[in-house]
Amino acid sequence: MAGRFLSIFKPIGRILPEIKKPTRKVSFNEKIFWTALVLIIFLVMTEVPLYGVGPSEFDQFSQLRVIFASNRGTLMELGIGPIVTAGLILQLLVGSSIIKCDMSNPEDRSLFTSASKVFSIALTALQAGAYIWSGMYGSLSELGIIVILAILFQLVAVGIVVMLLDELLQKGWGLGSGISLFIMAGVAQQILWATFSPTNGLFVGALTSLLSTAEESLTASGWILGSGGSYPYSLIGFIATIAVFLIIIYVQGIRVELPVTYAGYKGFRSRYPIKLLYVSNLPVIFASALFANVFFFTQLLWTRFNNPNSTMVTWFFRIFGNYADDGSGITSIGGLAHYVTAPSGIMNVYAEPIRALVYLGILVLFCAIFSLTWLEIGGLGPNKVAKQLMDSGMQIPGYRRSERPIEQILRRYIPVVTVLGGIIVGLIAGLADFLGVFGSGTGILLSVGIIYQYYELLMRERAAEMFPAFKALLGD
């Protein structure tokens, strides 16, 4: 039964908007249609401007927006950030047994879903209010109460729509999850824009400036290495983007395979794979969400409470996040928030080598910590896997059919692979940012994993559609 905390959400769950599961078999082509429709709605919302918000060339959260599928000044201003943060908080609370919840119990699972929705809506409203209060859209007196309420309503309403679009796919009407689809679409958008933008794209805007004879045209070194400013994309970044894609695809396939036999099939032999990226890309998602919240809330506090005449306040911001307003926007200049954002591009790394090293060290450390944390919280530990293997009738050749020997063998591999995988994804994401990859290192890392998952899902769905006898074997 659900704990006392989740029971609070039982009456609330009755009034929350919900997508019902399909009561019939949804065909493969119909799933493709709903998935495409969800993607089109998302892309439209990334282009529709918020009412009451004027255009702005400077975006202090530009490095973080790719990960959270958000776009400055549009209906997707907050993106999937509040939904992902709410889900992570509840998963961590349940995994650490602070909240009692049996995910195998349909009632508990329903209450957990209701709690996730409530937390998502609450965090959306909180973050929207914080954006308005911080002065991102202008001073409160300039905006007026009507415009403030209109902005708040739009952001909360779109947050609910995004939540329902994600639920639509996850309930079986479409393929995969909306969150994954939006991240992948956001990264693809960013890569295409960085490559072919008519204003500053590498092979259109920047190349036109390079070939121009104007006095302020882009230099060859600026085009190859990146000049920042109006032309932030470089040839090195383009090559690095392709290289990182190929490296991640290669790393995705590295695995340790343990020989197993099926007791119920006269010793039929197979192999149980333990991937190098055992907990997938979750560690870098956790780390990115944490860093984004540190950056956002320290900037919010600095905007509202910075007082150069107060020694205590000054020291607080020097430790947690110090900023400067150069007239075109607010930029980080010191403190923790400064060191949890990557200096993007070779020239920026060259200008701030200490910041680059500290950022990489913090990112790798947190990825390793979150990998080990999720090992138990996500039910991926050796003891849980050993039980699953036993329940499915598997055993390791040469050992008696018992959980204990299987668990001992798994303990030789799983913890080591988990930490190593966390370190590797941290290094790939950090170094990719240093090279100035298009779409950010974390964005590409997530996209490759999502594309790989969608490939497997499409093949499985197609096989089940063409050969119905495989349906039970595929677990559908």
pLDDT in tens, 358-417: 999 999 999 998 888 877 776 778 888 888 777 777 777 777 777 788 888 888 888 889
Q: Answer with the residue of higher pLDDT: 380 or 124.
A: 124
CATH architecture of structural domain 26-190: Orthogonal Bundle (1.10)
* Cα–Cα distance for residue pair 12/226, rounded to 1 Å: 52
> pLDDT (tens digit, 9 = 90+) per residue, 410-436?
888 888 899 999 999 999 999 999 998
At 430 the pLDDT is: 92
Query: What's the pTM value of the predicted model, to 2 decimals?
Result: 0.82
pLDDT at 155: 93
Tell me which residue of 63, 38, 9, 12 sits closest to 344, measured CA to CA.
63
The mean pLDDT value of the chain amounts to 83
Question: Percent of the chain having pLDDT more than 70?
Answer: 89
Map tokens 């910590």 to a residue: 369
User: Which two tokens mark 100?
Assistant: 């009692």
> Alpha-carbon distance 185 to 41, whole Å?
12
pLDDT value at position 432?
A: 92
**pLDDT at residue 450 above 50?**
yes
Question: Residue 65's pLDDT is what?
Answer: 78
Asked if residue 152 has pLDDT above 70, the reply is yes
Residue 465 confidence (pLDDT) above 70: no
Residues 74-89 have pLDDT tens digits of 899 888 888 888 887 8
Residue with the bigger pLDDT between 460 and 360: it is 360
Strongest mean pLDDT among 12-26, 40-54, 297-311, 462-476? 40-54
Burial grade of 353 (CB within 10 A; 0-12, 13-18, 19 or more)? exposed
CATH 1.10.3370.10 fits 234-287+348-473, yes or no: yes
Q: Cα(399)–Cα(366) distance, rounded to whole angstroms?
A: 37
Q: According to the model, what pLDDT value does residue 363 have?
A: 93
Give yes or no for residue 291 having a pLDDT over 90.
no
Mean pLDDT, range 37-58, rounded to an integer: 84
Distance, in Å, from the CA atom of 284 to the CA atom of 433, rounded to the nearest integer, reads 13
The least confident of 71-85, 436-450, 453-467 is 453-467
Q: Could you tell me the pLDDT band of residue 104, with boundaries at 50, 70 and 90?
A: low
**Would you say residue 230 has pLDDT above 90?**
no
Among 64-73, 276-285, 416-425, 464-473, whose mean pLDDT is lowest?
464-473
Query: 450, 188 in Cβ contact below 8 A?
Result: no
Report pLDDT for 474: 47
Q: Tell me the mean pLDDT in the region 161-184.
A: 89
More confident residue, 29 or 38: 38
Confidence of residue 63 (pLDDT cuts 50, 70, 90): low
What is d(CA 93, CA 103) in angstroms, rounded to the nearest whole number?
13
Q: What is the reported pLDDT for 473?
A: 45
pLDDT score of 23 more than 50 = yes
Lowest mean pLDDT among 67-81, 227-241, 256-270, 284-298: 256-270
More confident residue, 36 or 252: 36
Residue 7 — very low, low, confident or very high, per pLDDT cuts 50/70/90?
Answer: confident
57 burial via Cβ count (<10 Å: 0-12, 13-18, 19+): exposed
Locate CATH 1.10.3370.10 in the chain. 26-190, 234-287+348-473
Asked if the model's pLDDT at residue 472 lies above 60, the reply is: no
Q: What pLDDT was estimated at residue 86? A: 85
Give the Cα-Cα-Cα angle 344, 348, 351 (nearest 5 degrees): 155
C-alpha 1/C-alpha 341 separation (Å) is 42
**Which CA distances in Å does 190 have to 66, 176, 193?**
7, 22, 5
Contacts of 469 (CB under 8 A, 6+ apart): none
Q: Which residue has the higher pLDDT, 377 or 223?
A: 223
pLDDT over threshold 60, residue 469: no
pLDDT tops 60 at residue 470 = no
